């Protein structure tokens, strides 16, 4: 009897070890090694046969002919935008996100809407009846969408051969397993083998594929990093499950920019594309409230205005609490220290709560100025003047640092009827006269505070 060999594989990064170890030497994670059986891969193993058939000759780069990449319109404007103008045939697109965030909904909705293309939707998580129930809620019809509940890689490859689809969806890659590998679905070697086999089919048939992926507790895509290297596009679907807004972010894109984001709203009948985010993210108060500041932010390539809310109150217990939703807590602590040290506000004994309205997470550093303004406004209990928005990154010495895409921010604020905007002094060389908004430039925190609250 042939002796089967087993190795221990780090489930985080895919490093192999002959014996079990507690901490992975490569990625530093603890307790990630799992025993997996090794199967001697035969010569026809997934990726090898694909490479063998392609024997291209090297050519001089200036002789390479470029043809405009054909794109498949997904009938979903926001998704097309994030993909850089639609799906490229033969590409592998990985969509990751927390459980229940709406990955299956997003992809099924697209599968139902995409015009005159045969879609094969393989689900390892739901039965065809469950998919049908969901499909009826979001988009009745769907004549071109075939569904099958399957977890075996070999059977899926068979279905592809028999149905010859124009688009393949696999929900999710962690539930699929190959018979040749003797380890559990979702393990590093299964994911590697299954993705490799699907990749080969995609390239051979020029078939675009959407893979849905789970994420682990740290918020990274579950499985080996090699999964992200193998696919052409990695999209992350994120948002607060208790709020309606979802953001689709591109983390990697071989055919376009990763700066684009798509915004959706989860409704009872599926996801709605949000074309004008500012109008939704601003709550419309009649009277001015203290602790609210409007930031002219840019996420992806799009400017939008978001509302930052702060509540500052005297700490009831010894250690003041700092909590933030949608904004990095460490950055909040840093801004509080800057306000204390450089602008002389005594916040060390205060509880500070910060919230970005709408439940979205913002990475743009230019909302710093709105954060400190909201905190100060709440601290002194004076509302910000109405019709004012701000944009600026705050540095460690209390200076207001320049921000990118300032003209887009000013344009968006002016479009939404704001009367004044405060921006960094160092954003130079801009002709403000073409905007119907009054622009104030500041170089220090105190100057901004004086303009706002004096
Ligand atoms: P789902 O797509 O199953 O999430 P994932 O595949 O990422 O795990 O979506 C989950 C949530 O979305 C579910 O809790 C219900 C909600 N939902 C709606 O609010 N409206 C809808 O039309 C649909 C289909 C789902
Ligand atoms: Mg799902």
The pLDDT mean for the chain works out to: 86
Domain boundary among 211, 244, 275: 275
Same-domain pairing of 304 and 434: yes
Residue from 98, 103, 105 whose mutation best tests the ligand 1 pocket (most atoms within 8 A of CB): 105
Same-domain pairing of 110 and 234: yes
Question: CA 130 from chain center: how many Å?
Answer: 26
Domain boundary among 258, 275, 292: 275
Same-domain pairing of 291 and 420: yes
The sign of the torsion formed by the CA atoms of 77, 83, 89, 94 equals negative
Q: Which domain holds residue 30?
A: 3-52
Between residues 211 and 9, which one has the greater pLDDT?
211
Which atom of ligand 1 has the smallest separation from the CA of 269? Answer: 22
Tell me, what's the pLDDT at 1? 46
Tell me, what's the pLDDT at 32? 84
Tell me, what's the pLDDT at 43? 45
Domain boundary among 275, 310, 329: 275
The response to whether 99 counts as a known ligand-binding position is yes
Q: Are strands 119-123 and 145-149 parallel, antiparallel or unpaired?
A: parallel
Can you tell me the distance from the alpha carbon of 241 to that of 61, in angstroms, rounded to the nearest whole number? 48
Contact assessment for residue 181 and residue 189, using Cβ atoms and an 8 Å cutoff: yes
Q: Which of 29-43, 178-192, 198-212 has the highest mean pLDDT?
A: 198-212
Cα 110 to ligand 1 centroid, rounded to whole Å: 14
Query: 376-396 b/e with 16+ CB inside 10 Å = b?
Result: bbbbeeebbeeebbbbbbbee
On whether residue 372 sits in a domain, the answer given is yes
Between residues 142 and 384, which one has the greater pLDDT?
384
| Residues less than 5 Å from ion ligand 2, measured at CB | 104
Tell me, what's the pLDDT at 53? 53
Same-domain pairing of 254 and 305: no
1 burial (CB, 10 Å; 0-12 / 13-18 / 19+) is exposed
pLDDT tens for each residue of 205-257: 999 999 999 887 666 776 667 788 899 999 999 887 777 888 898 889 998 88
Residue 340's H or E segment, with its range, is helix 329-342
Same-domain pairing of 32 and 146: no
pLDDT tens for each residue of 284-305: 665 678 999 999 998 877 788 8
Q: Is the pLDDT of residue 154 over 80?
A: yes
Tell me, what's the pLDDT at 92? 95
pTM of the model: 0.75
Same-domain pairing of 87 and 224: yes
On whether residue 63 sits in a domain, the answer given is no
CATH code, domain with 363:
3.30.230.10
Tell me, what's the pLDDT at 146? 93
CATH code, domain with 126:
3.40.50.300
Can you tell me the distance from the alpha carbon of 267 to that of 374, in angstroms, rounded to the nearest whole number? 30
Domain count, the chain: 3
Sole residue written with tokens 């005297």: 314
Tell me, what's the pLDDT at 110? 92
Backbone angles phi, psi at 228, to 5 degrees: -65, -30
Give the mean pLDDT of 374-395. 93
Q: Which of 38-42, 65-69, 93-97, 342-346 has the highest mean pLDDT?
A: 93-97
On whether residue 409 sits in a domain, the answer given is yes
The response to whether 97 counts as a known ligand-binding position is yes
On whether residue 64 sits in a domain, the answer given is no
Same-domain pairing of 183 and 40: no
Which atom of ligand 1 has the smallest separation from the CA of 237? Answer: 7
Same-domain pairing of 231 and 327: no
Same-domain pairing of 425 and 374: yes
Same-domain pairing of 145 and 241: yes
On whether residue 314 sits in a domain, the answer given is yes
On whether residue 34 sits in a domain, the answer given is yes
Among candidates 133, 134, 129, 174, which has minimal Cα distance to 148?
129
Same-domain pairing of 252 and 115: yes
Can you tell me the distance from the alpha carbon of 309 to that of 406, in angstroms, rounded to the nearest whole number? 23
On whether residue 146 sits in a domain, the answer given is yes
Cα 125 to ligand 2 centroid, rounded to whole Å: 7
Give the mean pLDDT of 373-402. 93
Cα 99 to ligand 2 centroid, rounded to whole Å: 7
Please work out whether the CB of residue 405 comes within 6 Å of at least one atom of ligand 1: no
Give the mean pLDDT of 177-183. 87
DSSP 142: -
Which residue minimizes the CA distance to atom 10 of ligand 1? 100
Planar angle of CA 233, 189, 192, nearest 5 degrees: 20
Which atom of ligand 1 has the smallest separation from the CA of 125? Answer: 6
Instruction: Report how far apart, in Å, the C-alpha atoms of 123 and of each of 86, 126, 211, 256 are.
Output: 23, 6, 10, 28
pLDDT tens for each residue of 364-377: 899 999 999 999 99
Same-domain pairing of 294 and 395: yes
Q: Is the pLDDT of residue 51 over 90?
A: no
Cα 39 to ligand 1 centroid, rounded to whole Å: 38
Q: Is the pLDDT of residue 347 over 70?
A: yes
Between residues 237 and 361, which one has the greater pLDDT?
237
The response to whether 103 counts as a known ligand-binding position is yes
pLDDT tens for each residue of 305-325: 889 999 999 887 778 899 999
Can you tell me the distance from the alpha carbon of 32 to that of 243, in angstroms, rounded to the nearest whole number? 33
On whether residue 59 sits in a domain, the answer given is no
Helix (H, G, I), strand (E, B) or coil at 251: strand
Q: Is the pLDDT of residue 74 over 80?
A: yes
pLDDT tens for each residue of 414-439: 888 889 999 999 888 888 888 889 99
């Amino acid at each position: 009897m042939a002796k089967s060999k087993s190795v221990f594989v780090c489930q985080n990064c895919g490093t192999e070890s002959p014996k079990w170890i507690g901490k992975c030497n490569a990625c530093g994670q603890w307790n990630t090694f799992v025993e997996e059986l090794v199967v001697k891969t035969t010569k026809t193993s997934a990726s090898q046969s694909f490479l063998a058939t392609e024997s291209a000759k090297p050519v001089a780069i200036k002789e390479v002919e470029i043809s405009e990449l054909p794109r498949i319109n997904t009938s979903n404007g926001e998704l097309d935008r994030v993909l850089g103008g639609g799906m490229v045939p033969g590409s592998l697109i990985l969509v990751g996100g927390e459980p229940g965030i709406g990955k299956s909904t997003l992809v099924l909705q697209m599968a139902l809407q995409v015009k005159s293309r045969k879609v094969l939707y393989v689900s390892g998580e739901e039965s065809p009846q469950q998919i049908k129930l969901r499909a009826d809620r979001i988009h009745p019809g769907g004549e071109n969408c075939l569904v099958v509940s399957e977890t075996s890689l070999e059977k899926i490859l068979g279905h592809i051969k028999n149905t010859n689809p124009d688009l393949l969806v696999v929900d999710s890659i962690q539930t699929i397993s190959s018979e040749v590998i003797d380890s559990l679905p979702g393990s590093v070697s299964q994911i590697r083998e299954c993705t490799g086999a699907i990749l080969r089919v995609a390239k051979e048939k020029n078939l675009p594929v959407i893979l849905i992926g789970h994420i682990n507790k740290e918020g990274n895509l579950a499985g080996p990093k090699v999964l992200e290297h193998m696919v052409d596009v990695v999209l992350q679907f994120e948002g607060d499950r208790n709020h309606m807004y979802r953001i689709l972010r591109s983390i990697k894109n071989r055919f376009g920019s990763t700066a684009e984001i798509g915004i959706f709203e989860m409704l009872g009948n599926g996801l709605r594309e949000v074309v004008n985010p500012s109008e939704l993210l601003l709550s419309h108060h009649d009277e001015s409230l203290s602790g609210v500041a409007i930031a002219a932010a840019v996420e992806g390539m799009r400017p939008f205005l978001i509302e930052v809310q702060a509540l500052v109150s005297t700490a009831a217990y010894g250690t003041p609490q700092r909590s933030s939703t949608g904004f990095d807590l460490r950055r909040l602590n840093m801004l509080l220290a800057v306000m204390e040290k450089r602008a002389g506000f005594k916040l060390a004994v205060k509880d500070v709560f910060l919230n970005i309205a709408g439940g979205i997470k913002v990475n743009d550093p230019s909302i710093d100025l709105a954060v400190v303004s909201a905190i100060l406004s709440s601290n002194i209990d004076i509302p910000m003047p109405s019709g004012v928005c701000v944009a600026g990154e705050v540095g460690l010495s209390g200076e207001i640092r320049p921000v990118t895409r300032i003209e887009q921010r000013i344009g968006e604020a002016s479009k939404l009827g704001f009367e004044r905007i405060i921006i960094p002094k160092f954003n130079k060389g801009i002709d403000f006269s073409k905007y119907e908004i009054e622009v104030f430039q500041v170089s220090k925190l105190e100057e901004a505070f004086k303009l706002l609250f004096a």
